[in-house]
């Protein structure tokens, strides 16, 4: 278990109070960092076949923590080494991600990495920049046609810089949590794919019943022992109720409030709660764990939410 020494002495700096032993440096300090500005190769070299080197153009290929791209290029001018920190330098500016392997970077991103290319040193850079994200974003707000960050602005961007042992300790702890979250997410994705495969096997391909007799129905051919029923005949259905803004709370007050925000696109429950206090709540509006909710209103532009179900957990 890592232990941190409590810093008792602080000093005033242009970045506010910092531990006395910490210094302030800039990303352009070549003794500590390297910055590579992206450059996009001609699109004729792009492919989705895995030929060449993975390529990223901008924010749309960013994952929660690591880059997720399916585009490759057989020609590349600017390569970010493994574990580099990527910064979007075109709108939206200041977004951050990390590379797992070497990556070709287009003009929408820049790569920053420690001179010794250490994984933990680079993770420290990531967490420092994440803490200063709003200041990074402000670099692009110059009133031009589109937001962007220049190489000079990145060079002059100030960051706190503790001694090596503290940098590595900070990066180790924060990386442990982020990697745990990333692994849990990957496990959930595997479970979701497994569940969808089982669903398809049972209810679309009817594999467990392939030797059974099938009959025609309004939904197509189904096993003879199956029946088609409307939802209203097999379950109780109740519409929700809209509430006024003054009846809703972001902090605990009254009752937990389930809304469209609790339904994931494609289905699934998202445990992001708000609260409600109102004298208009009826007994039949209360849910219990295991109840099924269905989005009956669309709030995306491409219809990815309406009809999606979620089990209340």
* The predicted structure's pLDDT at residue 3: 44
Mean pLDDT over all residues of the chain? 90
The winner for highest mean pLDDT among 154-163, 225-234, 245-254, 266-275 is 154-163
∠ CA 246-250-251, nearest 5°, is 110
pLDDT of residue 254 exceeding 60, the answer is yes
What is the distance in angstroms between the CA of the first residue and the CA of the last residue of the chain?
A: 33
| 1-53 confidence digits (pLDDT tens) | 344 455 568 899 998 889 999 999 999 999 999 999 999 999 999 999 999 99
**pTM score:** 0.69
Task: Report angle CA 212, 218, 223 to the nearest 5 degrees.
Answer: 10
Q: Which residues, 6+ apart, have CB-to-CB distance to 62 below 8 Å?
A: 68, 86, 88, 95, 97
Q: What share of the chain is helix, strand, coil (3-state, %, to 5)?
A: 30, 25, 50
* Domains of the chain by start residue, with CATH: 10-162 (3.90.220.20), 237-313 (no CATH)
Question: 57-61, 102-106, 303-307: lowest mean pLDDT where?
Answer: 303-307
Cis previous bond, 72, omega within 30: no
What's the pLDDT at 245?
86
pLDDT at 145 over 70: no
Paired residues of 114 in beta bridges: 33
pLDDT category at 223 given cuts 50, 70, 90 is very high
pLDDT, residue 282, reads: 86
Q: What does the pLDDT read at residue 267? A: 84
Q: What is the pLDDT of residues 280-307, one digit of tens each?
A: 988 888 988 889 989 888 877 677 788 8
- Kindly report, residue by residue over 158-203, the tens digit of the pLDDT: 999 999 999 999 999 999 999 999 899 889 889 989 988 998 999 8
User: What distance in Å separates the CA atoms of residue 195 and residue 199, rounded to the nearest whole number?
Assistant: 6
């Amino acid at each position: 278990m890592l232990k941190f020494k409590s810093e008792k002495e602080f000093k005033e700096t242009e970045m506010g109070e910092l531990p006395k032993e910490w210094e302030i440096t800039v990303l352009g300090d070549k003794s500590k960092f390297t910055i590579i500005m992206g450059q996009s190769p001609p699109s004729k070299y792009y492919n989705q076949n895995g030929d060449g080197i993975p390529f990223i153009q901008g924010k749309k290929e960013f994952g929660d923590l690591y880059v997720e791209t399916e585009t490759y290029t057989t020609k590349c001018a600017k390569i970010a080494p493994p574990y580099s920190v990527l910064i979007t330098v075109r709108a939206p500016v200041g977004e951050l991600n990390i590379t797992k392997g070497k990556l070709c970077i287009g003009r929408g991103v820049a790569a920053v990495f420690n001179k010794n290319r250490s994984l933990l040193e680079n993770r420290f850079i990531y967490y420092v920049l994440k803490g200063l994200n709003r200041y990074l974003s402000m670099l692009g707000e110059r009133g031009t046609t589109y937001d962007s960050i220049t190489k000079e602005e990145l060079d002059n961007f100030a960051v706190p810089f503790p001694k090596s042992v503290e940098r590595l300790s900070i990066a180790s702890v924060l990386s442990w949590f982020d990697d745990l979250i990333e692994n849990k997410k990957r496990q959930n994705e595997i479970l979701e794919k497994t569940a969808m495969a089982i669903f398809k096997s049972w209810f679309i391909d009817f594999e467990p019943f392939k030797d059974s007799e099938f009959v025609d129905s309004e939904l197509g051919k189904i096993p003879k022992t199956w029946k088609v029923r409307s939802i209203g005949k097999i379950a109780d259905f109740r519409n929700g109720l809209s509430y006024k803004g003054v009846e809703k709370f972001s902090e605990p007050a009254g009752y937990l409030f389930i809304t469209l925000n609790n339904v994931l696109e494609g289905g699934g429950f998202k445990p992001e709660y708000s609260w409600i206090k109102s004298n208009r709540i009826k007994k039949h509006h209360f849910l219990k764990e295991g109840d099924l909710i269905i989005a009956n209103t669309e709030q995306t532009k491409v219809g990815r939410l309406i009809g999606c179900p979620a089990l209340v957990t």
